[in-house]
Amino acid sequence: MRRINAVLSGLGNIGSRFVGVLDRKRDVLQQKYGVDVRLVAAADVSGGAINPDGLDLAQIASLKGQGIAGIGQAGLGILEILQSVNADIFFEATPVNLQTGEPGLSAIRAALKRGMHVVTPNKGPLALAYGELRALARENGVQLRHSGAVFGGLPTVNIGQRDLAGSTILKIEAQANLANSYILWNMGKGMAYKDAVRAAQEQGCCAPDETLDVEGWDAIIKLVILANSVLEIDARIDDVKREGITHLTPEAVAAVKAEGKVLKYVASAVRRDDGSYELSVGPRALEPNHLLVPLGELQMGVAYTSDLYGIIMATIREEEPTPSASSLMRDMLSIYAP
Amino acid sequence: MRRINAVLSGLGNIGSRFVGVLDRKRDVLQQKYGVDVRLVAAADVSGGAINPDGLDLAQIASLKGQGIAGIGQAGLGILEILQSVNADIFFEATPVNLQTGEPGLSAIRAALKRGMHVVTPNKGPLALAYGELRALARENGVQLRHSGAVFGGLPTVNIGQRDLAGSTILKIEAQANLANSYILWNMGKGMAYKDAVRAAQEQGCCAPDETLDVEGWDAIIKLVILANSVLEIDARIDDVKREGITHLTPEAVAAVKAEGKVLKYVASAVRRDDGSYELSVGPRALEPNHLLVPLGELQMGVAYTSDLYGIIMATIREEEPTPSASSLMRDMLSIYAP
């Protein structure tokens, strides 16, 4: 049995569910994978808690926004924890911040420098500083894993990195953003843009502030992470041609339908003859036989076209965040029980 | 640079294409994965050839059924080669034999006992002796990989083993057999059974003797391998409830359509409350919103339902055998550059 000391930052939707998964799967982790995972420290906005023997997972999972300070120390920050605690792996699950990547970015840097593996579904630090973080991981002989950052529980990155091994990827096409997918689907049924946004918010697939979704930023950062991790190019946010859906009218959507096409929000990377990739996100009028057309309005999906493996496509129906949260466990197991 | 000495048995559709892929991807293998693969021996029905410095890959790939004896030694068999050659990995790609698993089974046993990793897309030995071969691999500290044996280039096994890590798989449903899929699709358009079989043979997705496909054996052996490798149960061919398509009439197919359902040939594993699985293959009348319905008549696909990762589905359009052949390289890289 291998003991793994873990630190977690962020106890929101993903972080607290992940702790619950670790708790429920304790026996499987020990018996099937031979790992005994102890959460030796955890932090959220309220503070932090440390226990070298392992915090009580069921207790942490049930905090539900009450703040870990109640069972730990108010104001104890993740950077302080990472400096003082000896741990093998750091799980970073704070909210996405696209301007600075913080607080995730500094914490990931600190953990890598301390020689910890890092697993994160946090798109901010990855989209802003992928190259730097990858280099830092290599320098310190540890791994940086983020399978949950690109389409939640869908193994988008894993398929691209491992299952297409040795191939040249010619094209990636993805339904990458559920909010935009759901909005376009409703507009296709005649709903006005603003009503469709509200419907998406009521459904739960769109944030109360829809800006990041409808202006394309969410799809862009996923594509940037995918381009860095799978295509292995140094892509940045500015390299992606961005088109949102805020300008779409029901008339324009109806016109696409009248042409016999299907309007989908698509993130794509297309290889040019010189080996570089054209990256773009936006609404696209697809032919009815296009690979992405059969995808449901609440499915995420990616299609890889490569020189060796034909067209491989993977999709997920993720109705709540457990698959995304479980991706942290998957990534941990890919490090310790590959 | 790590040098890998490889032995290959079988130079048919898969084997010779695989040699061609190794040849074309030599630079990528060296530069990106740090491996220098030398084919130190190869055999087919005509004989074998040995070269400790590595055979000429382009020459082997272009034999096209002319027999390797022409450039090697007539009658030199794979068992003799495996005993005399020092190699790290054995690729077994002879034709499927469901009665005995031979000649693949004996060769795989011999290679594992000699301490070689084994990669094979050959369904015969795996379906007949999975448990024995896995145990033999473990005893000898080597790996047995077979991602090409279950739906060709589709990473069916890899997704189930790695990307669903820690989860309990509740259901697997798959469009596992292209011939049956294509036949049912044509019968759905009004074609009689015999004509539909002929059409599938002309298309190239059905063998000249269609028995293994239309009676369900091909789907069964894929399901058995999947059950052993992903569900980790000791499933055997007899454990699968089998229904073929030979009894189907155009009237029966039309009746399914009239009910608003879609007829697909489905392989499935469904978890019972006691943790065991019900395994079956057969034609199924699916509701129009079923996951497998959008699959094209020449696509293979698998849908995994698990307790943690929602419903994850993967599909492939494999128009010729290069993806299956490339899966041998993928498996090799998962051993040497995980």
Is B337 an 8 Å CB contact of chain A? yes
> Which has the minimum average pLDDT: A64-73, B83-92, B275-284?
A64-73
- A308 contacts B166? CB cut-off 8 A: no
Tens-digit pLDDT profile for residues B235-273: 999 999 999 999 999 999 999 999 999 999 999 999 999
Per-residue pLDDT band at A214 (split at 50, 70, 90): very high
Share of chain B above pLDDT 70, in %: 100
Contacts of B310 in chain A (CB under 8 A): 153, 316-319, 322-323
B300 interaction partners in chain A (CB closer than 8 Å): none
> What is the model's pLDDT at position B93?
97
DSSP H/E element including B272? none
Average pLDDT estimate for B299-308: 96
CB pairs under 8 A between A and B: 126
CB A332 within 8 A of CB A4: yes
- Mean pLDDT across the stretch A168-184? 96
Residues of chain B neighbouring A311 (CB-CB closer than 8 A): 316-317
What does pLDDT average to over chain A?
96
Region A191-208 average pLDDT = 94
- Put simply, the answer to whether A162 touches B155 (Cβ < 8 Å) is yes
pLDDT digits (tens, 9 = 90+) for B43-62: 999 999 999 999 999 999 99
What's the pLDDT tens digit per position in A241-289?
999 999 999 999 999 999 999 999 999 999 999 999 999 999 999 999 8
Confidence tier at A318 by pLDDT (50, 70, 90)? confident
| pLDDT the model gives residue A9 | 98
- 3-state SS record for chain A: CEEEEEEEECCCHHHHHHHHHHHHCHHHHHHCCCEEEEEEEEEECCEEEECCCCCCHHHHHCCCCCCHHHCCEECCCHHHHHHHCCCCEEEECCCCCCCCCCCHHHHHHHHHHCCCEEECCCHHHHHHHHHHHHHHHHHCCCCEECHHHCCCCCCHHHHHHHHCCCCCEEEEEEECCHHHHHHHHHHHCCCCHHHHHHHHHHHCCCCCCCHHHHCCHHHHHHHHHHHHHHHCCCCCHHHCEECCCCCCCHHHHHHHHHCCCEEEEEEEEEECCCCCEEEEEEEEEECCCCCCCCCCCCCEEEEEEECCCCEEEEEEECCCCHHHHHHHHHHHHHHHCC
Three-state DSSP class for B5?
Answer: strand
**Is the confidence at residue A182, as pLDDT, over 80?**
yes
Tell me how close the Cα of B305 comes to any Cα of chain A, in angstroms: 10
pLDDT tens digits along A28-47: 999 999 999 999 999 999 99
Cβ of A165 and B330 within 8 Å? yes
What's the pLDDT at B256? 95
State the smallest CA–CA distance between residue B230 and chain A in angstroms: 13
How far A31 CA lies from chain B's nearest CA (Å)?
11
Supply the pLDDT for residue A338: 84
How far apart (Å, rounded) are the C-alpha atoms in residues B143 and B136? 10
Where does A2-153+321-336 sit in CATH, by number? 3.40.50.720
pLDDT of residue B64: 76
Q: Which of B312, B318, B338 sits opposite A153 (nearest CB)?
A: B312
Q: What is the pLDDT of residue B338?
A: 84
Among chain A residues, CA nearest to B167: A25
A309:B153 CB<8 A: yes
pLDDT of residue B103: 97
Query: In whole angstroms, what is the distance from residue A119 CA to residue A89 CA?
Result: 8
Asked if B2-151+321-336 and B157-316 have one fold, the answer is no
Checking DSSP bridges between strand B277-286 and strand B144-145, what pairing results, if any?
unpaired
pLDDT of residue B275 exceeding 90: yes
Q: Is B42 helix (H, G, I), strand (E, B) or coil?
A: strand
Q: Give the mean pLDDT of A79-85.
A: 97
Q: Spell out the domain ranges in chain B.
A: 2-151+321-336, 157-316
Q: What was the pLDDT predicted at B319?
A: 84
Q: Are B317 and A333 a contacting pair at CB < 8 A?
A: no
Given a cut of 90, whether residue A228 has pLDDT beyond it is yes
Question: In whole angstroms, how far apart are CA B258 and each of A46, B187, B196, B294?
Answer: 61, 14, 20, 18
pLDDT of B183 strictly over 90: yes
Kindly report the number of other CB atoms within 10 A of residue B149's CB atom. Answer: 27
Q: In this prediction, what percent of chain A has a pLDDT beyond 90?
A: 96
Spell out the residues 6+ positions from residue B327 whose beta carbon is closer than 8 angstroms to its own: B121, B147, B148, B152, B153
Q: Is B70 helix (H, G, I), strand (E, B) or coil?
A: helix
pLDDT at B41 over 80: yes
Is the CB of residue B253 less than 8 Å from the CB of residue B188? yes
* B311 part of contact set with chain A, CB < 8 Å: yes
Superfamily classification of domain B157-316: Dihydrodipicolinate Reductase; domain 2 (3.30.360.10)
What is the pLDDT, as a whole number, of residue B65? 79
Q: Determine the CATH number of domain B2-151+321-336.
A: 3.40.50.720
pLDDT, averaged across chain B: 96
Q: Say what the pLDDT of residue B299 is.
A: 92
Answer for the pair A90, A108: CB distance below 8 angstroms, yes or no.
yes
* Optimal mutation site among A311, A322, A327, A335, interface B, most CBs of chain B within 10 A: A311
Q: Do B67 and B46 meet the contact criterion of CB atoms below 8 Å apart? A: yes
For B26, the 3-state DSSP assignment is helix
Name beta bridge partners: A282. A266
B315 in contact with A at a CB cutoff of 8 Å? yes
Nearest 5°: phi and psi at A202? -70, -35
CB contact under 8 A, A309 and B294: no
Q: How confident is the model at residue A64 (pLDDT cuts 50, 70, 90)?
A: confident
Q: How confident is the model at residue B166 (pLDDT cuts 50, 70, 90)?
A: very high
Contact with chain A for residue B287, Cβ under 8 A? no
Contact B311 A317 (CB under 8 A): yes
